[in-house]
Amino acid sequence: MEAGIAALGISNREETPLIVEGLDEDSAIVDEICLVGEFKTTGSINFIAMRAKLAEIWHPGKGVTIEEIGDQRFMIRFYHEVDVQRLLAGGPYNFNNHLLVLHRVGENEDPLQVPLLNYDIWVQVHNLQTGMMSEAMTIQLGNTLGKFIAYDTKAITMGFRSYMRIKVRLDVREPLLRRKKVLTRQRKEVYVQFKYEKLPLFCYLCGRVGHGESFCPIRMVGVRRSCGYYLGIEVPAKDTREGLSMGWKEGVNVTLKSSGDHYIDVEIVSEEAENPWRFMGFYGNHEERLRSDSWDLLRTLKTQSNNLWIVMEDFNEITYGFEKQGRRIRPIRQMTEFRNALDECGLIDLGSRGPWFTWETGNTPRTNIRERFDRGVATSSWREIFPDCEINHLPHSISDHCPLLLDTHPGETRERTEFPFRFESSWCMEDDCEEDIRKIWTNCDLDVPRKLNAVNEGLTHWSKNITAARFKRTKELKRKLDELNHRDPTSSNLEELILTKLDLNLEIDRKERKW
């Protein structure tokens, strides 16, 4: 038997290459031309609506096929070169004002691995001085903005236009330029202004496409402070999905150890432990081809640690297949690499309470995907210090990830802080607010200062009732959301889930409108 096994080998018939004959470039028929696309947004895209809209806009002569391939990417198949060239020349494209970045898939390219960072756009250049509208100037300005592609000769020669049009290739990671200082031949400094055509959603704070001011990392500082965390650190985003923030309140003994593009590492002093323990917020790279770099980073950070270590947040990976629901199966190799990294670092999953899955995309049963990307892991020595700790998966209605709440002492009651009276702009959204103020003012037969004091007392009592009613409604919506997240993703359940999220978002918006 051993001799027989030893004699096994690869047949020469398998190894001898087959030479394709009878085909040349002129006679070959191209069945399909593939492009991979991705919308630069922090949220999810309604695939069915997007597919119908883009097919209507492009209207290719030979047809088009659009399908999801995972990691929020889409494969777009055309069947004639003319349709592809017309599409690429007419961009940029967007859906719901979110930029679509496209890349033509070449031979041996993996559509899930190619970076999608560049897009072409037409830019108008205004405030040009006499004699500056030249081809050389368009090339210089184009390479200043990004990479020069072409210029519109009609815009230069048509006398009624006072600007030039240039087509440039931009990087989504770089901020848009509003203007550029130019030195004329007379050594005079002037500013030329840039206006971007078909500009999708972009941020007025950082100047980058892919998000608005509400989700800008620069705004993270203000958001953190508005939540009462006046101390902290932010790691600016290098991509539309990145950017980290960690905050803590005064009186908490926290020391920053280090930070990087994908992690923030701090030491915390508490009564439970004799020595400081280590807390790390970690973000696994969202690109599969770079995921192993994240695990190497985790191993490196482990060597800088004492044994009391907890790591939390979005790893962008699962450990086993049962942590995913919907679409294609997760490659076993990826899950194994993640488990091996956790084992080598001595990190144990702390479990969770609440919905099992922490990330979701897709609004129909066919496109819906749920995965457990977010988790808390810790060393056994840290768990011994906090044996009763819990990680709660909180309801989420705005982000596609659910928040994680680490409670080291579950069951303990916390003191509520009483705030001085402040009129909140959200009260104006209540139908009876103005009526109650007028009633108090009219029925109070006193001088103005005492009337104001009466309004103060009346609104304080009124606001407590409103706050209690809102709290009850928010609690009920969160309970309903939690129940829906545990149900199967049928059409009716997903529709009800979306409506519940919208109602909860409205309540959150009312609560956050303070001034």
Specify the number of domains making up the chain. 4
Q: Domain boundary residue among 39, 69, 104?
A: 104
- Is the pLDDT score of 382 beyond 60? yes
Domain membership flag for residue 172: yes
3-state SS record for 46-100: CHHHHHHHHHHHHCCCCCEEEEEEECCEEEEEECCHHHHHHHHHCCCEEECCEEE
426's tokens:
């959200």
Q: Are residues 273 and 388 in the same domain?
A: yes
pLDDT, mean of residues 117-144: 85
Q: pLDDT at position 72, please?
A: 79
What does the pLDDT look like over 405-427, one tens digit per residue? 888 888 766 655 555 666 676 67
Domain membership flag for residue 290: yes
pLDDT, mean of residues 340-356: 91
Domain membership flag for residue 484: yes
- The closest of 133, 141, 140 to 179, measured between CA atoms, is 141
**Please, which pLDDT band fits residue 500 given cuts at 50, 70 and 90?**
confident
pLDDT, mean of residues 5-20: 52
Q: Are residues 90 and 149 in the same domain?
A: no
Q: pLDDT at position 29, please?
A: 42
Are 393 and 355 within 8 A, CB to CB?
A: yes
**Please, which pLDDT band fits residue 192 given cuts at 50, 70 and 90?**
confident
DSSP 249: -
Q: Are residues 274 and 345 in the same domain?
A: yes
Q: Are residues 267 and 403 in the same domain?
A: yes
The proportion of the chain whose per-residue pLDDT surpasses 90, expressed as a percent, equals 14
Q: Phi and psi for 312 in degrees, rounded to 5?
A: -135, 160
Top pLDDT among 245 and 38 is at 38
Top pLDDT among 73 and 186 is at 73
Q: Are residues 360 and 473 in the same domain?
A: no
Domain membership flag for residue 450: yes
**Please, which pLDDT band fits residue 348 given cuts at 50, 70 and 90?**
very high
- Is the pLDDT score of 374 beyond 50? yes
Q: Are residues 370 and 303 in the same domain?
A: yes
DSSP 290: G
Q: Are residues 378 and 433 in the same domain?
A: no
Q: Domain boundary residue among 353, 374, 407?
A: 407
- Is the pLDDT score of 325 beyond 60? yes
Domain membership flag for residue 123: yes
- Is the pLDDT score of 75 beyond 80? yes
Q: Phi and psi for 498 in degrees, rounded to 5?
A: -65, -45
Domain membership flag for residue 21: no
Task: Identify each DSSP E strand in 10-83 by its residue range.
Answer: 33-39, 64-70, 73-78
Tell me the pTM. 0.52
Domain membership flag for residue 110: no
Rounded Cα gap, residues 217 and 243, in angstroms: 6
Number of H helices, E strands in the chain: 13, 23
Q: Are residues 301 and 324 in the same domain?
A: yes
- Is the pLDDT score of 441 beyond 70? yes
Q: CB under 8 Å to 74, separation ≥6 — which residues?
A: 36, 37, 38, 47, 66, 67, 68
Residue 287's domain comprises: 253-407
Rounded Cα gap, residues 187 and 146, in angstroms: 25
CATH number at residue 276: 3.60.10.10
Q: pLDDT at position 4, please?
A: 52
Top pLDDT among 392 and 444 is at 392
Q: Are residues 267 and 395 in the same domain?
A: yes
Q: Which residues of 115-144 are buried (b: 16+ CB within 10 A; e: fewer)?
A: ebbebbbbbbbeebeeebbeeebbeebbee
- Is the pLDDT score of 1 beyond 50? no
Q: Are residues 75 and 173 in the same domain?
A: no
Are 468 and 305 within 8 A, CB to CB?
A: no
What does the pLDDT look like over 240-289, one tens digit per residue? 555 678 888 777 888 888 888 889 898 988 877 778 899 999 999 888 88
At what angle are helices 81-89 and 47-58 packed, to 10 degrees?
Answer: 100
CATH number at residue 32: 3.30.70.330
Top pLDDT among 469 and 319 is at 319
SS3 439: helix
Domain membership flag for residue 182: yes
What does the pLDDT look like over 140-163, one tens digit per residue? 888 988 899 888 877 554 555 678
Q: pLDDT at position 360, please?
A: 85
- Is the pLDDT score of 43 beyond 80? no
Q: pLDDT at position 79, please?
A: 85
The chain-wide mean pLDDT, for the chain, equals: 80
Q: Domain boundary residue among 163, 181, 196?
A: 196
Q: Are residues 99 and 123 in the same domain?
A: no
Q: Are residues 85 and 129 in the same domain?
A: no
Rounded Cα gap, residues 31 and 301, in angstroms: 49
Q: What is the largest CA-CA distance in the chain?
A: 111
Q: pLDDT at position 237, please?
A: 58
- Is the pLDDT score of 5 beyond 50? no
Give the CB-side neighbour count of residue 413, counting CA atoms within 13 A: 3
What does the pLDDT look like over 443-471, one tens digit per residue? 777 777 777 787 777 777 777 777 777 77
